[in-house]
Structure 1
Amino acid sequence: MSYLVLARKYRPKTFTEMVGQEHVVQALGNALTQQRLHHAYLFTGTRGVGKTTVSRILAKSLNCQGPDGNGGITAAPCGVCQACTDIDSGRFVDYTELDAASNRGVDDMQSLLEQAVYKPVQGRFKVFMIDEVHMLTGHAFNTMLKTLEEPPEYLKFVLATTDPQKVPVTVLSRCLQFNLRPMAPETVQEHLAHVLQAEGVEANTQALRLLSRAARGSMRDALSLTDQAIAFGGGKLEEAAVRQMLGSVDRGHVLRLIDALAQGDGKTVVETSDALRTLGLSAASTLEEMSAVLQRMAVIQAVPSAADDTDPDAAEIARLAQLMPADETQLLYSMCLHGRGELGLAPDEYAALTMVLLRLLAFKAPAAEKKTLTEPAQERPLQAPAPARTAVPAVGAPPGRVLPVMESREVRPPQRPAGGAPAAAPAVPVTGRPAAEVVGVPVRVQPESPRDAQGPATTTVIPTEEGDFWHATVAQLVAREAITALVRELALQSQLVARDQEHWMLRVERESLNQPAARERLKAALQGAGHAVNLSVEVGMVTDSPARRNAAAAAEKQRAAEEIILGDPFVQDMMRDFGAKIVPGSIKPVTTN
């Protein structure tokens, strides 16, 4: 006697046996009971969720004759009349199933529609079921449109597809569409337990949990995996055997990894990764299992009462949820998802897994151990203490004007002689710097930006009075091509922070731009433009440079151009009526000379 696989043996025969598709069963059941029957139905959904099964049950409901032969249209077919038994066995003459994956041309569709002119031979309705209908060619779709819209009263169309986006809208508009959803792991597990109980097979709860999760919402896949697991386990289902068959990672390894990441234990992370390599377990499965545990941790952190008491690892997951901050849980979850996509890019998936785990560990490093570009001077004990920053009033400057910050060990106030007249102020000594290097006294000084204490630079422009002057000056130099290459970049990327009649001070963010040759050439270009000044360039934060202003102006023009296009009535009509889309980056502002 031949063995019938579980997926076929336990295929639902009535709507009441359907699992996980209550929304479809309710709609079709009410329509059959009230006899509000449409002429075309479209069932969509992933593989193994019941599209063909619903089609066959619907065909039986339309043609059921009842046990006594006097039945009518019903939502509960009897299953014993000739129509029901013939449809279940696939030999009912008035029920035709067409596989559009292999019969997708115009000739195949025409041969099917030729049967539509003949009334049913045995049943009440003639039912055409077209599976994977999205595989039909465009001409085949056009061939069936007229018949699909106005079929004879005895003809019903049932279409099924896993990719409804490829079905023309002219076909979709002629059908009632039902989306069969992927089934929840809990629903699949419950049905597997019922099937195995009927089969008399011993099954461990954790083994069923693994099978239901591996099915990914498909009941047919779950039953096929169960068949395989029964053969692998010698007639019974145990967690270890199912985990070995699926190549799943033991939850203990995953919990150990997450615990090590929470505590910043790099040694345990690397050792566990090496153990996974030795056992030959899948790297993708490891990251997938970690994502599942982190998801449970995030739920517990948000809703402590949402813990799953049926999970044997619930206590350990709850402990890890308390050990790891919620923001780190979210970060690790996101990095595990992205890490799965990177496994195929590495020459060795285990090396890629180790790098993903070390990346997770790197984000656990204490903030005090992370070195930044703004490392305080007191953290470098081998260097001399940083000189004090002292602001000195500008000689001959208006009230309130001060010199730029200068390095000085000590500033001594002028001593008054006995007569009371103020004595001349002595020179301010600068430790470690010759007097010739002291910058000139400026008249106008750009105040320090508050961003210096806030972190790294952004592209935001903070307009200044000196910035207006410097932007206009650089624009003239660029227009006359007085500066090119590195000199032009120095001018565009710099900020004028202080100037007087003889000396200008610039600030750049990149040390590579601060070259002596570039400074001399920029100085010569300024002299040619009527600005005979000396230049000093320092490295620091820049908030108002010609380049930033140009970028801000270009961004504003781009935004205005996009608003004009998107606000155009013709463009809006095209997008609304024909689904038109604007290609990203295709809108460019018009430049005028």
Structure 2
Amino acid sequence: MSDSVVSEKQKPYQVLARKYRPTNFDELIGQDALVRTLKNAIESDRIAHAYMLTGIRGTGKTTTARIIAKAINYTGSDGKAGPTTGPTDNCKICQAITEDRHPDVIEMNGADQRGIDDIRQLIDGVRYAPSEARYKIYIIDEVHMLTDQAFNALLKTLEEPPAHVKFIFATTEIRKVPVTILSRCQRFDLRRVTVDELAAHYKNICAQEGITADDEAISMIARAADGSVRDGLSILDQAISLSENVLTTDTVKSMLGLNERMQTLELFKALMEGNTSEAFDLAAGFYERGQEPVALIKDMTEICHLLTKIKAVPKARRTVAPNMSDEELSAATKLAQSLSVPSLGKAWQILLKGTGEIVSSPQPQAVLEMILIRLCYASDLPDPADLIKKLHGSSGGSASAGGQTSGNGQGNGATARSSSATASVSVMNGHGNKTRPGTASQSAPSEKPETMAVANGNLDKLEDVVALLESNGAMLLASQIDQFVQLISLRQGKIEFLPAEHAPSDLSSNLQRKLLELTGRRWAVTIGRENAQPTLRKQREKREREELDKIMAHPFVSEVIKVFPGAEIIDIKEKTEEEEIN
């Protein structure tokens, strides 16, 4: 056996992400604008002293930093060549940079070398010329993790570095980098690599590795990479190990859990159809496979979001579902077509609320099952638009008989009327907090009379007295009269009443004194025993009960109560003239 074969076998395995890491600008994929700009800058000798590279993980930020370092330090095989934008394999300095062993290219990790002492050490090294290379390069990865003091210490050096020093920063969180740093750098945003570019790249790597791969399997990996070259290569590496050099669609689908995504779609479909039995069977399957309840809820939330997007923009795959397989997209589109946006909105709210409950609960599986039941129950509730149509269809003739018509002659499903008053009815399901009719108006001492009382003594009824007190700030006394005064008679200068139970003992004297102050004349306020009227509050409550009885007897309201068992009226509001016209 030859020495070359032995050394090849002894060579440690290198993951695909490192083995096929780009070494020059021509090998970078998906970053055409960046490559073109940097090539032009190097060829025209307009190399900036600091670069800021930003983008999601795995798009080539650190790789680009090393390529820049090699390109501007390139000396060729004879050690005399200048900077280049082409291959750099024949340069010893570039080989050392590739192997991360050149003393003039210093790489720092902002995650652990983030303090001011680390930056001071960097600044101390800046003053010294490079030992071998043309430029001394400082590459700081995850630069956004430096402390504020470290950033401040770097400002002056970054603004006016020595001619032999270049800075290259990389970050995934550009918004966390101070603007004072950004203003001193040339910024490049590395975009997500498209699915087609990734698929072509991975197919080329499979060919070099001698791997047979289905096109759909490669496409699945490219979609799962979500724009990150490195993520996709890690998935491809795992798939090759799993498939024994034959990469099939079924293998990749199983490895990526795409079968589970289809089952999540089936689970969501069962929930939207109100099929509790099938939903619980599918959920039990997830539980047996070890999926956490919170993860299942999050997956269903993503499915709900996806279906809503498909419903809104059915054919825009690039923006709606760029990372889904054709099979998944077809199933999701079919399901979305059978659902309405209001029903998806209800499911979204239930899932969002359930996510918080399941995280804080000591029994997440029990919470998951309760959420599934809620979703099944909500699926049986009609959409508001369908409900209005149904109600009009069943009670259209009788509803309009009570005077409920609009300008076009059709009944208004949002409002019920009686012959004596025009009222807006709010109905609340019995599962929530219930407020009896009249409680909303009990906080107000009395209703406003049609004519305001006059301070010179034009007080014809008890409501005028209450209005006079309210208009002059005597709110407590006005409330006591509304609640405790059972009027017997009211004439100019004299009030006779029977105090209700629990009335204040000084009510009559307080009223007498206040009327003297407000009207300028003496009033005789006496206590009687017979022929007393109910208090203003009692009279108001009686009117509201009568109004409620009329509304409850209305065909429209009766139909609503039938559709929503346990619902009740919680408030009655008079319609304004403007609402009446509209």
Length-normalised TM-score, structure 1: 0.62
Structure 1 residues 230 and 479 mapped into 2: Cα distance closer, same or farther (>3 Å)?
Answer: farther
Structure 1 residue matching 2:166: 3-state secondary structure? strand
- TM-superposed CA distance for 1:54, in Å, is 1.1
Q: CA deviation at 1:175?
A: 1.4
**Which whole-Å CA distance do the structure 2 matches of 1:315 and 1:42 have between them?**
41
In structure 1, C-alpha distance between the alignment counterparts of 2:426 and 2:43, rounded to whole Å: 73
Query: Could you say which residue in structure 1 is the equivalent of 2:534?
Result: 534
1:207-228 per-residue CA deviation (whole Å, 9 max, x = no partner) reads 5555455545433233233333
- Which amino acid in the other structure matches residue 353 of structure 1? L
* Residue 337 (structure 2) aligns with: 322
Please say if residues 423 and 573 of structure 2, whose CA atoms lie closer than 8 Å, have aligned partners that are also in contact.
Answer: no
Call closer, same or farther: CA 1:528–1:296 in 2, change over 3 Å: same
Residues 546-583 of structure 1, C-alpha deviation per residue, up to 9 Å, x if partnerless? Answer: xxxxxxxxxxxxxxxxxxxxxxxxxxxxxxxxxxxxxx
Deviation at 1:320, TM superposition (A): 1.9
SS of 1:25's partner is helix
C-alpha distance 348-150 of structure 1, shift in aligned 2 (>3 A): same
| Aligned partner of residue 112 in structure 2, secondary structure | coil
Cα distance, 1:184 vs. partner? 5.1
- Where 2:139 maps in the other structure, the secondary structure is strand
1:367 to 377, 382, 385: 382
1:542, CA displacement in angstroms?
5.4
The separation in 2 between residues aligned to 1:294 and 1:275, in whole angstroms, is 20
Structure 2, gaps ≥5 residues long:
1-10, 395-400, 404-416, 430-434, 453-462, 491-498, 513-524, 526-531, 549-570, 575-582
Taking the aligned partners of 1:208 and 1:519, their CA distance within structure 2 comes to 85
1:572 alignment partner in structure 2: none
Q: Tell me which of 143, 147, 152 is aligned to 1:142.
A: 152
Aligned to 2:134: 124
SS at match of 2:362: coil
| 1:17 paired residue among 9, 21, 27 | 27
Q: Tell me the amino acid that sits aligned with residue 451 of structure 1.
A: S
- 1:138 to 1:304, Cα distance in 2 relative to 1, 3 A: closer
Matched residues in 1 for 2:249 and 2:355: separation?
25
Return the alpha-carbon distance in structure 1 between the equivalents of residues 151 and 122 of structure 2.
13
- Looking at structure 2, the residues matched to 473 and 215 of structure 1 have their Cα atoms a distance apart, in angstroms, of 75
2:371 counterpart (352, 356, 365)? 356
Looking at structure 1, the residues matched to 572 and 469 of structure 2 have their Cα atoms a distance apart, in angstroms, of 16
Partner of 2:39: helix, strand, or coil? helix
The 3 A distance-change label for structure 1 pair 210 and 453 is: same
Q: Which amino acid counterpart does residue 130 of structure 2 have in structure 1? A: P
Quote the Cα distance in structure 2 between the aligned partners of 1:450 and 1:291.
40
Kept in 2: contact 1:523–1:534 (CA 8 A): no
CA distance in 1, matches of 2:87, 2:245: 35
> Structure 1 pair 164/305, CA: closer, same or farther in 2 (3 Å)?
closer
Q: CA deviation at 1:165?
A: 3.6
> Which structure 1 segments of 5+ residues have no match?
380-387, 391-404, 408-446, 492-498, 503-516, 545-593
Do the aligned partners of residues 296 and 171 (structure 1) sit closer, same or farther apart at CA in structure 2, a change above 3 Å counting? Answer: closer
Write the deviation string for residues 366-403 of structure 1: whole angstroms up to 9, x where unpaired.
Answer: 3399xx9xxx9xx9xxxxxxxx999xxxxxxxxxxxxx
Superposed CA RMSD: 4.8
Cα pair 1:32 1:73 within 8 Å, conserved: yes
Report SS of the residue matched to 2:21. Answer: coil
Query: CA deviation digits over 1:62-90, x for unaligned, max 9?
Result: 11234565543333343322232121111
User: CA 1:472 to 1:204, structure 2 compared with 1: closer, same or farther past 3 Å?
Assistant: farther
Alignment of 1:380-459 (within 5 A): 448-452=421-425
Mean CA deviation greater in 198-207 or 32-41: 198-207
| Larger CA deviation: 152-161 vs 40-49 | 40-49
Q: Does 1:466 align with 2:449?
A: yes
Kept in 1, the 8 Å contact 2:294–2:359? The answer is no
Offset of residue 323 of structure 1: 1.6
Q: Secondary structure at the match of 2:327?
A: coil
CA distance in 2, matches of 1:233, 1:522: 90
Structure 1 residue 268 displacement after superposition:
2.0
Distance 1:48 1:316, change over 3 A: closer
Report deviation, 1:96.
Answer: 1.3
- SS of equivalent to 1:452: strand
Q: Does the residue aligned with 1:158 lie in a helix, a strand or coil? A: strand
Q: Check the 8 A contact 2:425/2:572 in 1, yes or no.
A: no
Determine the structure 1 residue equivalent to 2:269. Answer: 259
The DSSP-based 3-state class of the residue aligned with 1:367 is coil
User: Could you list the per-position Cα deviations for residues 234-272 of structure 1 after superposition, in whole angstroms to 9, with x for gaps in the alignment?
Assistant: 455455555555556524323322332343323222222
Partner residue in 2 for 1:561: none
Pair 368,41 (structure 1): closer, same or farther in 2 beyond 3 Å: closer
1:483 and 1:263, CA in 2 relative to 1: closer, same or farther beyond 3 A?
same
Once residues 208 and 282 of structure 1 are traced to their aligned partners in structure 2, the CA distance between those partners, rounded to angstroms, is 29
- Give the match for residue 170 of structure 2: 160
Instruction: From the superposition, tell whether residues 534 and 330 of structure 1 become closer, same or farther in structure 2 (CA, over 3 Å).
Output: closer
Which of 227, 237, 241 is the aligned partner of 1:231? 241
What is the alpha-carbon distance in structure 2 between the residues aligned to residue 341 and residue 210 of structure 1?
32
Cα distance change of structure 1 residues 133 and 501 upon mapping to structure 2, 3 Å threshold = farther
Q: CA deviation at 1:475?
A: 5.0
Change in Cα spacing, 1:107 to 1:467, as seen in structure 2 (3 Å) is: farther
Question: Which amino acid is 1:60 matched to?
Answer: K
Residue 8 (structure 1) shift: 0.8
2:16 corresponding residue in structure 1: 6
Deviation at 1:299, TM superposition (A): 4.8
The 1:525/1:17 distance shift into structure 2, 3 A limit, reads farther
| Residue type of the alignment partner of 1:63 | N
Amino acid at match of 2:124: E
Partner of 2:104: 94
* TM-fit CA distance, 1:176: 1.7
